A and B are shown apart, each in its own frame.
Chain A
Amino acid sequence: MSKSRKFMAVALTACVLGAPALAGQRTDTKSGPRYHIGRAPTADEIRGWDIDVRPDGQGLPEGKGTVAQGEKLFMDNCASCHGEFGEGSGRWPVLAGGKGSLTSDNPVKTVGSYWPYASTLFDYIRHAMPYGNTGSLSVDEYYALVAYVLHLNDVITDQNFELTNRNLATIKMPNEQGFVMDDRATSEKSFWQKDPCMKDCIAPVKITGRAVAIDVTPEDGKKSRGVE
């Protein structure tokens, strides 16, 4: 009895205090009410997690590394999957080469042939590499590795080049202009129709290809990793 009365009192207080707070926090018509749940992170907490990097260099931590330093790091940490020259081992990603292949039957999309921004390399290595051992490298080592991968792709040609937080954003990637915004709404406009065709829509068809002929579907119990 006394418990429920106490609860009622608390609830009433909350309502009285809460209502004006909810109404008063609307700064404009777009934003909703505030609930005051959670807290502000400390500067230290943000610093520890704030690891993203943008093409304009925003987010790059202070640091530096050379192509030569990167080569040694690459051999020790990366080459077992990506190959000594970024050629890729087995199904692991190819990092270098592929220039001029994007219109071919076998496009090879690498850092040099495809990636539009050098910052992406820094952001990705810092987030996810070395595979299975993320966070094991220092900031300077990230710069050195990025420099070496850019060197593998002839984006940086000078072995003694030192990549830093000040010059990374100035590096132009060969395929920066190779991207267009999603244009499906216009380039594929013909896919929008009033009424789909129902009768005699196309000439009679024949089978032109069969999955069973390619024979790559997994069978239960049969392990086949590594088959290209």
Chain B
Amino acid sequence: MSKMDSPRQSRRSFLAAGAGVAASVLAKPALAGGGNPANQPPNVPEWTKSLGEGVAVRPYGKPSKFEKDVVRRDVEWLTASRESSVSFTPLHELEGIITPNGLCFERHHGGIAEIDPVDHRLMIHGLVERPLILTLEELKRYPRVNRIHFMECAANSGMEWRGAQLNGCQFTHGMIHCVQYTGVSLRTLLDEAGVKANGKWLLVEGADAAAMDRSLPIEKALDDCIIAYKMNGEALYPEQGYPMRLVVPGWQGNLWVKWLRRIKVGDQPWHTREETSKYTDLMPNGKARRFTWSMDAKSVITSPSPQAPIRHGKGFTIVSGLAWSGNGKVKRVDVSLDGGRNWWPARLDGPVLDKALTRFYYEFDWNGEPLLLQSRVQDDTGYVQPSKAELRKIRGVNSIYHNNGIQTWHVQANGEVENVEVA
């Protein structure tokens, strides 16, 4: 029996509800769907009879109280303290491609810096003609860009290298989010400062208690990086780097330095802790790949999944999932019902953007028999998401990062779903 109670409805209540539905079909069809009959036809519920709260009673809106379980969660045994840890996006509850700001996964190295924007400064110095120091208000005076991009931690799915371990899409794939950023092209600021001819690398550094620092090659910095101050139209949330963060489209999340305070231009990389001790990928021969910045194409079925079982029984069934590539756009997604033996094209719906999440659907008539559900993406470079076996054949199981192998969900006859490995 699964340890993962699905939000809103525990496994036990799910099973009970299932039994209830079966009983009601025989007795009172009107009761199908559960709940309180007093609120259902032919009766009229309380919310139809009396006035609700007025405007501005909720000056900043929140989701319905009935959605209280749609939240970020952490895996406490993963890390020694919550201040240097990770929480996961509840992908199994979300649709479309945009992640709500309050549900974007968190990864902090020294807790959330709570920064008064009046006191925040961004300094650009090193191999530049004109060192620069900016306030947030000054940053906002530079020409703006709006871009939708996914951001994935290189360690997303990292707990799954040795086999299926965590029973939920939130935990296996939830170190990812996708929002629309508003900010200033990094190129604009580097032009303002005037990078010298020998300026080949940037050190980017945060203002948090870990003062996270990473090296970024100048080619990427001048290509599509952004210094963002808005996400999904509003100010960055503190846990996402308020008042400003770096956006490095398609590249590992660790480079997207939050609470960005300093950019130093140099002629060599710095080999900081986060690009030597961490975020290097140990191969079977004992050598480690370094500077593995880009996130390869990957996809996952978000529903059904262990936290989002099939509750309706056999019949028309929607498989919903996400695909993305750090190297371009999603070209196609295929879905398998038999663990990767046969594949069927999925339908992409909604925007298909460069280095952004893309939503796919596969709709079919489920006969109620067990399934081994998989999804497989191909991006516009031709890269096809590998199986876990193909990935392990090259990389072994010690590399922690960049696990983009194909995920398998075992859908059981009762609609429950579990994370499995197949061979």
Contact = CB atoms under 8 A, between A and B. Distances in A.
Interface of A: 27, 31-35, 37-41, 45-46, 49-56, 58, 81, 90-92, 102-103, 105, 107, 109, 111, 114-117, 119-120, 123-124, 127-128, 131-132, 134, 178-184, 187-188, 190-194, 196-212, 214-220, 223-228
B131 interface: yes
A138 B159 CA distance: 38
A21 B261 CA distance: 28
Interface in B355-394: 372, 376, 378, 381-386, 390, 394
B271 A46 contact: no
A198 B334 contact: yes
A217 B4 contact: yes
Nearest to B82: A225
Contacts of B271: 54-55, 116-117, 119-120
Contact of B270 (A54, A178, A209): A54
Contacts, number: 276
B290 to A, nearest CB: 5
A54 to B, nearest CB: 5
Q: Which of B135, B141, B264, B288 has most A Cβ within 10 Å?
A: B288
A215 B192 CA distance: 54
B211 A127 contact: yes
B328 interface: no
Contacts of A32: 187-188, 191
Q: How large is the interface on B (under 10, 10 to 19, 20 to 34, 35 or more residues)?
A: 35 or more
A199 B342 contact: yes
Given A201-B343, A205-B422, A217-B167, A128 B383 contact: no
B210 interface: yes
A160 B239 CA distance: 44
Given A92-B80, A128-B109, A218-B73, A54 B273 contact: no
A207 B203 contact: no
Report, nearest first, the 10 A-B pairs whose CB atoms are least far apart.
A209-B421, A91-B80, A225-B76, A211-B419, A205-B339, A124-B273, A102-B286, A205-B422, A41-B133, A211-B167
Contacts of B384: 191-193, 196
B272 A210 contact: no
Contacts of B203: 52
Interface string B142-155: 11000000000000
B76 A192 contact: no
Contacts of B376: 196
Contacts of A197: 343
B22 interface: no
B69 interface: yes
B290 A31 contact: no
Interface stretch (B25-33, B55-63, B277-285): B277-285
Contact of B272 (A107, A120, A187, A214): A120
B123 interface: yes
Contacts of A35: 141-143, 188, 192
Given A31-B194, A128-B209, A81 B80 contact: yes
B93 interface: no
A41 B132 contact: yes
A37 B142 contact: yes
Given A187-B394, A208-B422, A216-B166, A117 B276 contact: yes
B268 interface: yes
A56 to B, nearest CB: 7
B341 interface: yes
B171 A40 contact: no
B130 interface: yes
Nearest to A27: B194
B418 A211 contact: yes
B142 to A, nearest CB: 6
Contacts of B314: none
Interface stretch (B12-20, B46-54, B291-299): B291-299
Contacts of B339: 204-205
A200 B341 CA distance: 5
Nearest to A116: B276
Contacts of B332: 196
A180 B290 contact: yes
A46 B123 contact: yes
Given A117-B271, A128-B110, 11 more contacts: A38-B134, A40-B130, A50-B125, A54-B266, A114-B288, A134-B210, A184-B296, A190-B390, A198-B344, A205-B340, A220-B69
